[in-house]
């Protein structure tokens, strides 16, 4: 009889980032991160890439105005608490708006 550990049932969606974040985090690459919500995923990313979360959320934990997060083709609905639920097959895209002229 096989006894399953909690980790075997962990939700680990794939997270991808815009390339402009690579200038601050050169080794940043798509990664599977454990988390059931966008907020949990961002906390896990922060543990791997210290300071990255500050580019994504403000001091209140709300998504910054110049950042969008997509779950598949859909933009997150909860920009304030980031409690959108995830599945292990989800792909999350963290995108920063670019400006210039």
Residue 4 forms part of a structural domain: no
Residue 2 forms part of a structural domain: no
24, with CB counted inside 10 A (0-12, 13-18, 19+), is: exposed
Paired with 15 in beta bridges are 31, 92
- List the one residue out of 101, 90, 96, 79 whose CA is nearest residue 22: 96
Which residues form the domain of 22?
A: 11-96
pLDDT at residue 18 above 80?
Answer: yes
Average pLDDT over residues 2-30: 78
Residue 6 forms part of a structural domain: no
Q: What is the CATH number of the domain that holds 58?
A: 3.10.20.30
pLDDT at residue 27 above 90?
Answer: yes
Quick: pLDDT tens for 39-62.
999 999 999 999 999 999 999 999
Give the confidence band of 26 by pLDDT, cuts at 50, 70, 90: very high
Q: What is the pTM of this model?
A: 0.84
Residue 18 forms part of a structural domain: yes
> Cα–chain-centroid distance for residue 98?
19
Q: How many domains does the chain fold into?
A: 1
Residue 3 forms part of a structural domain: no
Paired with 14 in beta bridges are 32, 91
pLDDT at residue 23 above 60?
Answer: yes
**Which pLDDT value is given to residue 101?**
53
Residue 62 forms part of a structural domain: yes
> Cα–chain-centroid distance for residue 71?
9
CA dihedral of residues 63, 16, 14, 28 (deg, nearest 10): -100
Minimum mean pLDDT range among 6-10, 20-24, 63-67, 94-98: 6-10
């Amino acid at each position: 009889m096989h006894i399953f550990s909690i980790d075997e049932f962990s939700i680990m969606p794939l997270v991808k980032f815009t390339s402009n974040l690579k200038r601050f985090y050169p080794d940043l690459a798509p990664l599977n991160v454990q988390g059931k919500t966008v907020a949990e995923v961002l906390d896990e990313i922060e543990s791997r890439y210290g300071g990255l979360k500050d580019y994504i959320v403000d001091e209140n934990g709300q998504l910054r105005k110049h950042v969008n997060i997509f779950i598949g083709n859909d933009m997150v609905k909860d920009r304030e608490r980031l409690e959108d639920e995830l599945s292990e097959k989800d792909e999350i895209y963290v995108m920063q708006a670019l400006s210039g002229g």
